[in-house]
Structure 1
Amino acid sequence: MNEKTQSQGTLRSEARIAHGALHRLRQDLFVDAFAFRPMPPLEDAKVARWVPWLPERLRHWARWLPHLIVGGFSALVFLATFTMGYDIGPLRGLLMAGYCLLLAAPPALTLFRPVGAYWISLFAVIVGWFATSAFTPYGSPFGGEAFATHLAVMTLVVLRTRPRLAVEMWLVTFGVTGVLSVFSGSGAGDVPPVAFFSGLVLIAAAAVRAWREERRAVVETQTVTAEERSRRTLLEERALIARELHDVVAHHMSVIAIQAEAAPYRVENTPPELATSFATIRENAVAALTELRRILGVVRSEDPDAFREVDPEAPQPTLASLDSLLDSVRGAGLTVEAVITGAPRPLPQGVELSAYRIVQEALSNTLRHAPGADARVEISYVLGGLGLRIINGAPSRLAKPSPGAGHGVLGMRERVQMLGGEMTADHTEDGGFEVAAFIPVAASEATAKGGAA
């Protein structure tokens, strides 16, 4: 009983597999067989890679080179077939021209309707077999140029569609031609060698198509991965900036709350309305501080230690701390010179913090990527803002692999853009690297900062 049940289960599985194969065959070769599927031109990057010597004007037209090759092959098939029967008389010549057109059209049609081109090509093979059988008793569907063209069409269809069509077209083609061989009286002796050779050609075409699909999938995956990595790095940099600016904003809100609480006691006989207004200001400032702490908790929720400083209670650094930063990098072996032009003046804390971090990141990059090079830090206090320029020379020895993410320039650029400034970062002619940034500061902001100080 168990053996019978197992046998029935095996038959059902085989029937399911056969049904699935027939369903795929029907979907691939019969459903929408003549659907319009135009082959797009080559990408500009491929053209530039394949024919870099071609002038720019001609590269645009070179994108259509595959279409031109296939069209030329169709024209060659038509001319080669038609010239073979040019002296057979007017009527037969007209019929020959129609047959040549039927034979030459499928290769060109693979550019627009690949599966339909296969069926037309197979029909041309059958017509050619009937025409050959009318003049010789030993006609064969594999004789002449009809089957060679059909094999070329099947190869083009596989390259244009999907690899599994190679098996499906091979089965249909040799199923039909095998039956024709038997009915023609030539027997099936030609079928095995021709089928074997055709199978090798189609397998090679299917392998090329599968390799192209795999390569395209890998390129798409790498592109998506690079975009996700860049997006994640950008979010991490923004979270770091938000963490640092939190202390700056929290300081200002604390000052507002303290001044609003102390203001009523500085005036005798404070009106109740004024006292209520100051109380409301203090309550809003305290509420804002609470919301800031919640935002900071969201930023740090994924990795609580991601932005923790050595001393979490220490104030955020400013340009006044630049000397200690330079001393620390000099202690690490970097020869660095600092030049300050213009009259130093108090700037908004966000600007000072960002400027300090940009200098810190640029010098860190010099230590990592340009060992043995000298560095120069230029800070310019100008009327419209603050200018920064950090430049280093060429390394004197090979840099060791760095464990960092390699997105320091992205973080610096994000800080500058957040403040409405501009930044450039590029290699210099002598093999070094230069970071230049300008952070605009309105005169009102600098005045307010100076007054608060």
Structure 2
Amino acid sequence: MVQAALGGLRQELFHDAFAYRPLSRMDVDRGPTRFLPRRIRVYTGLLPHAFVAFWAVVVFGMGYDGIYYHFGPLAFVAAFMPAAIVLLTLVRPVLAFWASLGVTPFVGLITGYQDGWPWPDATLLMHLVVLGVVAVRTRPRAAAWMWIATAVFSVFMEAFLGVGRGSDTAPLLFASALVLLTVTVFQVRRQADREVTAQQTVTEQERSKRTLLEERTTIARELHDVVAHHMSVVAIQAEAAPYRVENPPPELEQAFLTIRENAVAALTELRRILGVVRAEDYEAPDAPQPTLGDLEALVANVREAGLDIEKTVTGAVRELPQGVELSAYRIVQEALSNVLRHAPGAAAKVEVSYVLGGLGLRIANGPARGLVKPSPGAGHGITGMRERVTMLGGEMTAEATEDGGYEVTAFVPVSREEAEK
């Protein structure tokens, strides 16, 4: 149990400390924000970023006292660094937590803070904000480890460097526990709401499929009762018509034979179509979808086509949601196809990064070495890749490099809850 706990600590706060995890936009298509005009909704998605920036300004304002009384460049640093660390939570949340602990005694020594060592007012607020933001963006277990690390750090600093100073350790630990508890309750409730919404979506989809199946069955029954009946009558009448005419000419017999053959063929085809429409499982069975595990075969296939390609995987390889793995595979596939089409003979690199909270992709190639044939493409491949990433709440860039090559980078966020399903 102890080994598992230490492994969780290493994974949560050390292994992913430098992971790049940009804060995603808020979903504005659900909740009250969906009623706002489209122009306003575009900016409403940045509310989480604005919230963090607001607290960064507040932290800087609290540290301004150090500038006012000391007027030195280090005093300005003492006010600026805590605010910068709050902003760091937007891209590297776990690193921001460690930076918060590291900066705190430095700021205290610069400002000569004595009353609440080792937590000056600005760094105390900074640490609470960082804890809250990081807890929102990670799992409750990570929040618990951060609180324990904060407690150990505070006790250590107070015992060895806080002789003769006042202490804010107890108020900080109480306030941080309250913040983390509030965030954890919020996270649990939000996850429960997500699960309920997902279940409702599945139920609605099943209801829609059932309704569609009933409608298809009704249409099939009507077609069979009406059209099939009349086609059968046409076939029978065409077969019997030559016998009702005395000495019919050969042309007339051939005409009736053709009518009958076409009627029988149409009836056979109609019954086949109705069989498909009436089938309970009217959807074709899903073919196995490619995943990131199939990238090696894709790379080998591209190598056989003459492309010099290097594939690198970093981070802890783990199974991701099917939609993420499929989209990642398609992005790499399309990017390599573009290299073959637009940069024949170029060297290419494929980098797959399993990082905290998501998956990073980078597909880069150098300049073309062979003759580039004009391509009639209209950029739909890049558009398709961007749509896949956007649909998953990620970010993507595709641009030319300085050496004449091209680079596609993408980051697809994956919550811990989704990754563990």
Report the TM-score when normalising by structure 2. Answer: 0.56
Q: Is 1:38 equivalent to 2:23 in the alignment?
A: yes
Residue number among 80, 100, 103 corresponding to 1:101 in the alignment:
80
CA distance in 1, matches of 2:169, 2:64: 27
Distance 1:292 1:46, change over 3 A: closer
2:61 paired residue number:
79
Q: Are 1:262 and 2:244 an aligned pair?
A: no
Cα distance change of structure 1 residues 24 and 75 upon mapping to structure 2, 3 Å threshold? same
SS of structure 2 residue aligned to 1:86: helix
In the TM superposition, residue 55 of structure 1 has moved relative to its aligned partner by: 7.8
Query: What's the counterpart of residue 157 of structure 2?
Result: 180
Superposition pairs of residues 6-405 of structure 1, within 5 angstroms: 14=1, 18-34=2-18, 35-41=20-26, 43=28, 45-46=30-31, 48=33, 58=40, 60-89=42-71, 93-131=72-110, 140-186=117-163, 191=169, 194-270=172-248, 275=253, 278-279=256-257, 281-282=259-260, 285-286=263-264, 289=267
Rounded to whole Å, the distance in 2 between the matches of 1:215 and 1:135 is 45
SS of the counterpart of 1:87? helix
CA distance in 2, matches of 1:285, 1:75: 80
One-letter amino acid matched to 2:187:
R
The alpha carbon displacement at 1:152 in A equals: 1.7
Distance between the aligned counterparts of 1:80 and 1:196, measured in 2? 21
Q: How many residues align?
A: 279
Q: Deviations over 1:270-321 (max 9, x none)?
A: 5668656745654564465466556656666759xxxxxxxxxxxxxxxxxx
Does the Cα contact within 8 Å between 1:106 and 1:121 map onto a contact in 2? yes
The separation in 2 between residues aligned to 1:209 and 1:229, in whole angstroms, is 30
- Cα offset, 1:26, TM superposition: 3.0
Paired AA for residue 249 in structure 1: V
**Cα distance in 2 between the residues matched to 1:65 and 1:264:** 81
Decide whether aligned partners of structure 1 residues 126 and 270 sit closer, same or farther in structure 2, where only a CA change above 3 A counts: farther
* Offset of residue 185 of structure 1: 4.9
Rounded to whole Å, the distance in 1 between the matches of 2:106 and 2:226 is 86
Partners of 1:251 and 1:232 lie apart in 2 by: 28
Residues 66 and 78 of structure 2 are in contact (CA less than 8 Å); yes or no, is this contact kept in structure 1?
A: no
Question: How far, CA to CA, are the matches of 2:168 and 2:116 in structure 1?
Answer: 11
Q: State the distance in 2 between where 1:73 and 1:194 align.
A: 17
> Shift in Å at residue 112 of structure 1?
2.9
User: RCO greater where, 1 or 2, for CA within 8 Å and sep 6 or more?
Assistant: 2
Corresponding letter in the other structure for 2:216: R
- Provide the rounded CA distance (Å) in 1 between the counterparts of 2:179 and 2:130: 12
SS of equivalent to 1:38: coil
SS at match of 1:84: helix
Greater CA radius of gyration, 1 or 2?
1
Post-superposition offset of 1:190: 6.1
Q: 1:44, 1:60 within 8 Å by CA — same for their partners in 2?
A: no
Unaligned runs of 5+ in 2: 282-421
Deviation of 1:233 (Å): 0.5
Q: Distance in 2 between matches of 1:292 and 1:57?
A: 51
Q: CA deviation at 1:207?
A: 1.0
CA distance in 2, matches of 1:107, 1:37: 14
After superposition, the Cα gap between the structure-2 partners of 1:24 and 1:283, relative to the gap in structure 1 and judged at 3 Å, is: farther
Q: Call closer, same or farther: CA 1:47–1:70 in 2, change over 3 Å.
A: farther
RMSD, aligned CA:
3.6
> Quick check: 118-127 or 180-189, which moved more?
180-189
Contact residue 47 and residue 63 of structure 1 kept, 8 A: no
Percent identical residues: 49
Give the gaps of 5 or more residues in structure 1: 1-13, 304-453
> Secondary structure of 1:142's match?
coil
Take 2:42 and 2:279, find their aligned partners in 1: how far apart are those partners?
52
Change (3 A) 1:298 1:182: same
Partner Cα distance (1:166, 1:82) in 2: 29
- Residues 297 and 139 of structure 1, relative CA distance in 2, 3 Å threshold: closer
Query: Which letter does structure 1 place at the counterpart of 2:153?
Result: V
Paired position in structure 2 for 1:384: none
For residue 26 of structure 1, what is the amino acid of its counterpart? R
Q: What is the TM-score normalised by the length of structure 1? A: 0.52
Q: Deviations over 1:331-374 (max 9, x none)?
A: xxxxxxxxxxxxxxxxxxxxxxxxxxxxxxxxxxxxxxxxxxxx
Q: CA deviation at 1:150?
A: 0.3
- Report deviation, 1:135: 7.2
Following superposition, the deviation at residue 240 of structure 1 comes to: 0.6
CA distance in 1, matches of 2:29, 2:263: 58
8 Å Cα contact 2:75/2:110 also seen in 1 = no
Cα distance between partner residues in 2 of 1:59 and 1:135: 44
CA distance in 2, matches of 1:57, 1:21: 47
**Counterpart contact for 1:73–1:107, Cα < 8 Å:** yes
Shift of the 40–232 alpha-carbon distance from structure 1 to 2, 3 Å rule, reads: same
